[in-house]
Structure 1
Amino acid sequence: MTVLQVNEMAKSKFDNRNEWLFSGVAAEIRPEDRIVLLGGSGQGKSTLLRILSLLEPFDKGDLHLDGQTSAECKPQSWRKKVTYVAQKPVMRSGTVAHNLRTVSELHNKPFEEELARSYMEAVGLGQMDWDKQASDLSGGEQQRLALVRSLLLHPELLLLDEITSSLDPASKRAVEKLLMDWAAGQANGLERAYLWITHDLDQARLISNQVWFMAEGRLLEKSATEVFFENPATEQAGLFIRSLQETRGEKQ
């Protein structure tokens, strides 16, 4: 069963409507897919994720979610199923508790406090004071709080935009484990999927079973993770992998 289908998606550049940021993007995402989206800066990776969650318009192509097109579905209902988690999350004014209650307030449903506490514990925030102002949290704490807030929507597909970039190694591992368990159905009893942007090759190998690679305004590769890293199909992907490996080696 396909969760999301992308057909010939295209988006023009923000500063030049006559040129494509990317075009011809075609792909399917199925339950339990754990996909990393790789590519250099400026390829439109974050824009693609925002389009998939209907937070930005697209210029060509169409999207299908559970058999419905994006035009047939209310944006709020779509985003509840296809949820974007930003690298720099926006916190609602007020406390941690107020942010965690966002889903229940917006959708007029009971607050799942036990589940919220379970997720907070899983991401290393189990001891956090819920009366603390969200604006006083560190960047890494805000990233994890935003993730928990999104998980409380019970989405079918999470779109994750470098969500561990501000985390220490232990917190990073905790988030990775939670999301891999969640995609496998261990957190909610249902198989779910995620599409995760990262520039960390070690993380990419760990968290994914597929790799999507963007370059030259196209989705150049879609392959199993092991195949992508051991035998990339394009020269562009090989150069990208080597450049990140060299950068990491210089830092070490």
Structure 2
Amino acid sequence: MSEIAILELDCLQKSIFQEKPRTLFQGITARIEEPSIIAVLGVSGQGKSTLLRILGRLDTADAGTVSYRGRLSSIWRPHAWRMKVSYVAQLSVMLSGSVEDNLRAASFIHIQPFDNQLAVELMGKVGLGSMDWNKQAADLSGGEKQRVALVRSMLLRPEVLLLDEITASLDLHSKIAVQELLMEWQRKEESTIIWVTHDLEQARLTSDRVWFMGEQTLLEQKDTVDFFTSPESEIARQFLQITREEAN
């Protein structure tokens, strides 16, 4: 076991309050020691998106800790943490202004030089190479906003990229382009991607490991091939069966 993990989760717990308090998850413990792509799977209501938001410091856990490179998230300034651990939401929010304004936003906020060449390269690889950067971001389609938001975060070159269903609104061609880009990026940058997805084929093709959330906790952590061939829990077996049937 390496001395310092890239990202370490220790006994995370989160409750939500609707008509009455409900535990969303508890006892979430995991350790990422090597750059990898991790698919987060599970039935709805297990808190997968909330977990990602906690890792990105956009939400807070009720208990437990998160550490990056051996330093607790609580001792980081939020903007410094988000340069290292960057979150991309399923429903992307565009800032007012043009596409270029949005692409430059992260660099401006974090006082980093804007890499125009990389921006052009990434926009091309997500299928937006011909887009007019002067176009107002508010006029983009949902899928275009999603891809611009992804490129915006990638321009910071974070070591950990948190992705919440980011291909859900994309057509098949764009979805495949994004998947290929992220796999290439992870290898080239030696980064870690934690990806919430409901697409089993996407998880199987792109990830190295699976985190399966069930029974209000992180129920399984396995290599992707092992998870899909021999899940340990009955709930995971049922999840795979039902999801495959729905896909067919």
TM-score bin, normalised by smaller chain: over 0.9
Partner residue of 1:98 out of 101, 106, 113: 101
Paired position in structure 1 for 2:11? 8
Paired position in structure 2 for 1:143? 146
Paired position in structure 2 for 1:124? 127
Give 5+ residue unaligned stretches, structure 1: none
**Partners of 1:200 and 1:18 in 2: CA distance:** 30
What TM-score, normalized to structure 1? 0.94
Check conservation: 1:95, 1:132, Cα contact below 8 A.
yes
**Partners of 2:57 and 2:49 in 1: CA distance:** 12
Paired position in structure 2 for 1:62? 65
Equivalent residue runs for 1:156-167 within 5 Å = 156-167=159-170
Q: How many residue pairs are counted as aligned between the two chains?
A: 245
The offset of 1:75, in angstroms, is 1.0
**Structure 1 runs, 4 residues or longer, greater than 6 Å off:** none
Q: Give the secondary-structure state (helix, strand or coil) at the position aligned to 1:19.
A: strand
Paired position in structure 2 for 1:201? 200
1:23 aligns with 2:22: no
1:234 aligns with 2:237: no
Check conservation: 2:38, 2:194, Cα contact below 8 A.
yes
**Cα RMSD for the two superposed structures:** 1.2
The offset of 1:215, in angstroms, is 0.8
What TM-score, normalized to structure 2? 0.96
Partner residue of 2:110 out of 107, 112, 120: 107
Percent identity over the alignment is: 51
The offset of 1:8, in angstroms, is 0.5
Larger CA deviation: 64-73 vs 231-240: 64-73
Paired position in structure 2 for 1:35? 38
**Partners of 1:153 and 1:237 in 2: CA distance:** 35
Q: Give the secondary-structure state (helix, strand or coil) at the position aligned to 1:184.
A: helix
**Partners of 2:15 and 2:170 in 1: CA distance:** 33
Give 5+ residue unaligned stretches, structure 2: none
